[in-house]
Structure 1
Amino acid sequence: MSHLERLPRKRAYLMCPPEHFTVEYAINPWMDTTVAVDAGQALKQWESLRATLIDLGHVVHVLDARPGLPDMVYSANGAFSVDGTVYGARFRYPQRADEALAHRAFYDTAGSWRFVAPEHVNEGEGDFAYLPAAYGGIVLAGYGFRTDPAAHAEAQEVLGRPVISLRLIDPAFYHLDTALAALDDRHVTYYPEAFSPASRRVLAQLFPDAVLADRADAEAFGLNLVSDGRHVILNTDAIGMGRKVRDAGYQPVHVDLSELKRGGGSVKCAVAELRP
């Protein structure tokens, strides 16, 4: 595909400001409770990410932060929407449980969403990705650390889209969105070693032209990106990943999210895509 064919599509996103963001507990390998978060810097970086998305022509809705939920800034984890249907989240750890309720309240009051509450543990877009133009529209779903594999079958029933289960095997990449990202409506990038050998074979079969990342890309949270089909928003540490997406015909846009990385997240974690 030539560079001229990489066309952006206007998106709608949901973000939540890090007004109460701290690292009070450690539920992933990146969280260090001994290092203080610079709250002012975190908010400044978040605002820069929001402004970047708006400047690129996208709509950004803002979910009000709630006291006592320091990880709420990672709004991608709160639900997963496809064609107006929302499959709600159910968090693995009790510290984050109430975030799911805040997200449900947003969908219940914002437009004509059909919200379905889950029975099984899942962490929204943290472990689900949607490719509307691949194979008629498929969902890629991660499991191994956070999301219960039974949630994949539940999501398929709720959303009416084929769900491909992918097993994550490296604790450093505990959510699908730390190991794989959609670059547009049919193409992905991923770090193969984050997945089981069988899942790697599945990905290679489905996406023979994928952009393959290495461990340095993944550790820089270079796969925790947001793309509109042309512009790929990455954190400033992900230099190698930026080169890879540029070589594939996309336009990298780097944003500093160093404070949010302290909680184990980057660009994608902070941005939920709304698919009405």
Structure 2
Amino acid sequence: MTDRVSAQSGRRRTAIPRRFLMCRPEFYDVRYSINPWMHPEKPVDDALALSQWETLRDLYRDLGHTVQEIDPIPGLPDMVFAANGATVLDGKVFAARFRHVERTAEGPAYLDWFRQHGYEETHWPEYINEGEGDYLSVGRRLLAGTGFRTDPRSHAEAQEFFGVPVTSLRLVNPSYYHLDTALSVLSEDEVMYYPAAFSEGSQAVLRELFPDAVLATHEDAAVFGLNALSDGRHVLLPEAATHLAKELAARGFEPIGVDLTELLKAGGSVKCCTLELRD
């Protein structure tokens, strides 16, 4: 992969090959409502959902990344949102324990996959946490969301397990119920986020940690523009987030718009579909 230099900052943007775990939306549907985006009365186009998901998977592979797949399980329509399945750092697996009964079985299903694929250091959590939905790795730090899904006591549990600093951030807008709907990691020391999704104290923490962060508009957030994934150069994000795309391009990144509108009907997009395997 070639490098790209930001005209604005002079920083070299280098794409780093990643390993991802994804789950085919074979049983995807919106049968219940556990977030403001889910409306069971609105039909889901199964074929379109699958096509959109396959486009994302194939795009990762075209960019040089490795994608492994976990088999979907009947009766678990949200299993497609692999990011929620666990948090993986240094080859250690912090399993997910879901808040809503509709998703409870996903945690053990993902943990079984990891154990079957040779991951020896795994942890079944004491407290509720929803994987990379609320844990995002930036450098040698975990940003940890709470407010709607993940129990704040889980943050200390994750810090003890992984042995890296964990910074708690409180979400206050129910439309952005997971951290990965309100914040995206761009590089080892850069993020983009939507300030209004966070409490005043958490906004202050983010300003302290990331004074040059890309700030999303309400319009960006409303199309799930922050549910994005960066490999250090390419940033895959919902194609409707045009303002964010311009901001990213100005900083030397290469934004790539992706259409996942069928999966947005359940409150998910690029990042939700993607669990990074950090070995």
Inter-partner Cα distance in structure 1 for 2:190 and 2:272: 19
- Contact 2:183–2:193 (Cα < 8 Å) also in 1: yes
Deviation at 1:16, TM superposition (A): 0.2
- Contact 2:6–2:250 (Cα < 8 Å) also in 1: no
Pair 1:140 & 2:147 matched: no
Measured against aligned partners, the alpha-carbon deviations of 1:148-172 in whole angstroms (never above 9, x if no partner) come to: 0000010001110100000000001
Pair 1:98 & 2:102 matched: no
Instruction: For residue 67 of structure 1, give the secondary structure of its aligned residue in structure 2.
Output: coil
Q: 2:62 maps to what in 1?
A: 55
Q: 1:121 maps to what in 2?
A: 128
Deviation at 1:47, TM superposition (A): 0.3
Inter-partner Cα distance in structure 2 for 1:212 and 1:55: 29
TM-score, L = length of structure 2: 0.96
Task: Select 1:225's aligned residue among 223, 228, 233.
Answer: 228
Provide runs of 4+ in structure 1 moved above 3 Å: none
Alignment of 1:235-250 (within 5 A): 235-250=238-253
Instruction: For residue 130 of structure 1, give the secondary structure of its aligned residue in structure 2.
Output: strand
Instruction: For residue 68 of structure 2, give the secondary structure of its aligned residue in structure 1.
Output: strand
- Which deviates further from its counterpart, 102-111 or 68-77? 102-111
Instruction: For residue 20 of structure 2, give the secondary structure of its aligned residue in structure 1.
Output: strand
Change (3 A) 1:5 1:178: same
Change (3 A) 1:140 1:106: same
Instruction: For residue 114 of structure 2, give the secondary structure of its aligned residue in structure 1.
Output: helix
Task: Select 2:22's aligned residue among 5, 10, 15.
Answer: 15
Measured against aligned partners, the alpha-carbon deviations of 1:212-247 in whole angstroms (never above 9, x if no partner) come to: 111111111000001100000012222222112111
What is the alpha-carbon root mean square deviation over aligned residues? 1.0
Gaps of 5+ in 1: none
Deviation at 1:184, TM superposition (A): 1.3
Aligned residues: 272
- Contact 2:95–2:122 (Cα < 8 Å) also in 1: yes
Inter-partner Cα distance in structure 2 for 1:5 and 1:87: 32
- Contact 2:170–2:199 (Cα < 8 Å) also in 1: yes
Task: Select 1:213's aligned residue among 213, 216, 219.
Answer: 216
Letter in 2 for 1:44: S
Gaps of 5+ in 2: none
Deviation at 1:2, TM superposition (A): 2.8
Alignment of 1:1-276 (within 5 A): 2=6, 5-132=12-139, 137-276=140-279
Inter-partner Cα distance in structure 1 for 2:188 and 2:57: 22
Give the percent of matched residue pairs that are identical in Structure 1 and Structure 2.
Answer: 51
Inter-partner Cα distance in structure 1 for 2:32 and 2:161: 33
Measured against aligned partners, the alpha-carbon deviations of 1:15-36 in whole angstroms (never above 9, x if no partner) come to: 0011000000000000011111
Letter in 2 for 1:98: A
TM-score, L = length of structure 1: 0.97
Deviation at 1:113, TM superposition (A): 4.1
